[in-house]
Amino acid sequence: MSDNPFELKPLGPGGVARETFRSATPSIRFSGKTTEDTATELQTNATTGLSSSQDILNRRSIHGINELSSEEDESLIMKFISSFYQDPLILLLIGSAIISFWMGNKDDAISITLAIVIVVTVGFVQEYRSEKSLAALNKLVPAEAKLTRNGNTSTVLASTLVPGDLVHFSQGDRIPADVRLTEAVYLTIDESNLTGENRPVKKSTTMINNGTSLADIPVNQRSCIAHMGTLVRDGHGSGIVIATGHKTVFGGVFEMMAEIEKPKTPLQQAMDKLGKDLSIFSFIVIGIICLVGIIQGREWLDMFQISVSLAVAAIPEGLPIIVTVTLALGVLRMARQKAIVRRLPSVETLGSVNVICSDKTGTLTQNHMTVTKIWSTDFKGSFNSPFLVVERLDDKTLHSKLTQNMHQILQCGSICNNARYSHENEKYVGNPSDIALVECLPHFGLDDFRGTRQRVYELPFSSARKYMAVCVHTGDMNKAETLAKGASEKIVRLSTKYLDENGQVKPITEEVKHIIHEKSKVLASDGLRVLAFAKSNQVITSSENDIHQETTEPSDMIFLGLVGMKDPPRPNVSKSIAMLMKGGVHVIMITGDSPSTAMNIAKQIGMPIVGDHAVMTGDQIDNLSEIALADAIHDVSVFARTTPEHKVTIVKALQRRGDIVAMTGDGVNDAPALKLADIGIAMGKNGTDVAKEAADMVLTDDDFSTILSAIEEGKGIFNNIQNFITFQLSTSIAALSLIAMATFFGLPNPLNAMQILWINILMDGPPAQSLGVEPVDHEVMNKPPRRRNDKILTQLVIKRVIQSAIMIILGTLFIFVKEMTDNEITARDTTMTFTCFVFFDMFNALACRHYSKSIFEMGLKNQMFNFAVIGSLIGQFCAIYVPFFQSIFQTEALYFSDIVTLLVLCSTVFIGDEVRKWLMRRKTVLTSYNYV
């Protein structure tokens, strides 16, 4: 049996899932129908798609949107009510209120009940916010589809599809719905998420007619159906949508999997463990406090209420929730900066990345190709250059320069091309190299040649072949020809002849081959992408019997010439690389281009090319063992002429050295490296769905500079988590220690149950949450990456917690003892102590905004923090000045002089932390000075 979690049951022959629970699904029905019958039944056109807007709206109203979403099982009201009985500590507080009411202490009962409602509400809002933030993450990478309606092709959200729509897909795409294929060119699809079998399934347009019941045909044998959620491994195709949303095969799987709970991130698990450890410690201390108090003769109900309230306040039960909210909100902020993090644990890893392996094309460069130079044999050159310099000539001059072989190069580039024109966007869409070849035709007075040819067969480009070929004819199959384009060394190897400027075919000699390679190197040294072109009268065919569709390779080809395309670096890449290097991150360029092209671009963007070993080729990687590569890779900045398989080798070698690696990729074959890397980064614009599925992060603008922003945000989030943990733990320890010390020294309790619960609301509520969304300090990039095994509770954090807690305890005890002069506890005594603790808490929160930077330098940019502190202070003033709240919290009004005294005293925790920061910065400066 397959270990695939999405597998359907019961199983059919060979362990493949069978949909016996739906014997008449669209997938089954339409697999037995021809494409013509499918189009007729769904009232659509297999070439132009649906055409009526009203018809499309009607279909959407019937079938719904093309999305898979689990329905809400429980209403918000029921969830809120369940919060009161899910937490044992809240149940204990409820029991305490009931006992108080039964014993006649109605004021206490009402106060505790109101406190319970407030505490539960704060916790519920936090949890609800966490769930909503996580739900928002699932919508950050919406599925897209290439759709043809009324003859116009455009890219749309997959959720807008309806049965009858005509969709297109190519290598790396995710199938957007269940589709009856109308075209399948070298098409193989990975259906492992449905069947558990990793072997790609070959697809065709032929209906299934094997004499057996269609219901008995398993998913992976429905060769004319492409199922929603599966991934195109090779080739391309088109088809008519037959089912959307929950009516698809994947929809049935989704319904079965909706109840499975997602695992927590490592950081959340660490917070859970920290919370449990603190809970155990707190329960022990609270139990001792309660026991000692009862032994001392105090009222057992008072001690019980104090103990339960202390447990609620001291135990940081909101810690994991605040961590989740902080991570989720950080991810949403990253999304606004064009970096979509697909998995929460990736946020934790971002701050540790010390090596970034980046693609050149589209990531470091703009991915907008422009044909700048063309070369063919016998060409005399222009502008003291041996090439036709396209960018320096006007259209009339270019037209006059068009020799026979130049014309053939442009014709080959046009026909051996998969770029499509989008009427909606009024531009070509597809591979940037293909677009550049088509866009340059009008400058030579030429039109797209594809309208004059009928394509018989296509051999798609692959990283292994490094070339693409198509077989076409003008109406007579006997006069069919094969056209190819690709890497110059591959095309030259397939060629036995070449075309001169007069259109004469001549045998290609070693001397001519040497000249071609030299010209290719010259183009590459200018930082251009070089493509070679050739044609042949041979017809390429494929074997229909093998899953990989073995194809006869073109041979005896006629070499036509070379084209150089410019793809300039992105504007901000140089600055980003400089900042990353300053922060201890090594940037490596990986490209399939030649070493000359790669080095030219690397120098333009400021990458250090030092020594003879700064550039390494794919052939050199093949000749090294993994251990030897790990030793040699230290000084390498550029890997050229690499394949996606080399990326895996490079990642393994870097990880062997102990590096935390981020790897970028966009193709199907990049998926293994993206999965293997600590942070896999896929391209959002030009990346395939396969790459996005394997990646941890998606760059929606394909810009390298966005990686810098993401790493900066990742480091900032981790610092924020440490800051609010410092605040929570220092408050928790101070509250626990305060009651413990008062009990052990035989003093009255300085805080009552209601006051302790209010402190809990401050500790777990808005002030703590606002520390989690502190704006990122750009200086984090000046610090080296965090080590993978670094604990969140470092020695420095613990020292900071202890320092703050001690100052709060001593200051609060000082006020308590000072006010309690007659050994009797009064409302004024507890009010002063209570307000002192709250003020200490607010100043402590202010100090916790940053670990090393002065608050005076930071300013008050965190609006959420400002509102949280102001709101908390207003709440505190209500507790001591509003009669209704005075009765609840057992407080009385304080004089203005009392407030001033408390503010001066409580600011010492803030001043003490500022002094610590100053000493820390001074030590850093002195260390740097001594090092220099």
- Please identify every residue annotated as catalytic: 359
Rounded to whole angstroms, how far apart are CA atoms 462 and 465?
5
Using alpha carbons, select from 824, 813, 820, 833 the residue that is nearest to residue 892. Answer: 833
**Pairing mode, if any, of strands 481-486 and 528-536?**
antiparallel
Taking the C-alpha atoms of 580, 583, 584 and 585 in order, what is their torsion angle to the nearest 10 degrees? -30
User: What is the C-alpha separation between 803 and 912, in angstroms, rounded?
Assistant: 8
Angle at 713 between CA 712 and CA 718, to 5 degrees: 100
Whether residue 422 contacts residue 149, with contact meaning beta carbons closer than 8 Å, is answered with no
Sequence-separated contacts (24+) of 39-43 with Cβ below 8 Å: 39/182, 39/240, 42/163, 42/164, 42/240, 42/242, 43/164
In sequence order, what are the beta bridge partners of 427?
422
What is the SS3 string spanning 400-459? HCCCHHHHHHHHHHHHCCCCEEECCCCEEECCHHHHHHHHCHHHHCCCCHHHHCEEEEEE
Going by C-beta distance under 8 Å and a sequence separation of 6 or more, which residues neighbour residue 139?
Answer: none
Distances (CA, A) of 748 to 298, 526, 548, 838: 9, 83, 82, 19
Q: Which two tokens stand for residue 389?
A: 């310099």
- List the alpha helices (DSSP H) in 680-794: 689-694, 704-744, 753-764, 766-771
- The string over 443-482, giving b where at least 16 C-beta atoms fall within 10 Å of a residue's C-beta and e elsewhere, is bbebebbbeebeebbbbbbbeebbbbbbbbeeeeeeebbb
The angle at the Cα of 232, spanning 487 to 357, to the nearest 5 degrees, equals: 55
Q: And the tokens for 477?
A: 């199959």
Eight-class DSSP state of 210: S
CA 896 distance to own-chain centroid: 52
| 177 close to 243: Cβ distance less than 8 angstroms | yes
**Contact assessment for residue 222 and residue 179, using Cβ atoms and an 8 Å cutoff:** no
CB atoms within 10 A of CB 420: 16
3-state secondary structure of 904: helix
In DSSP terms, 357 is beta-bridged to 588, 663
Q: Which of 365, 409, 368 shows the shortest CA–CA distance to 387?
A: 409
Q: Kindly report the backbone phi and psi dihedral angles of residue 696, in degrees, each rounded to the nearest multiple of 5, phi listed first.
A: -95, -20
Strand-pair category, 355-359 with 661-665: parallel
Amino acid at 85: Y
User: Which candidate, 434, 385, 362, 354, places its Cα nearest to that of 593?
Assistant: 362
Helices (H), 772-862: 795-819, 827-847, 855-858
Other Cβ atoms within 10 Å of 103 Cβ, number:
11
Tokens of 485: 């384009």
CA distance 673 to 666: 11
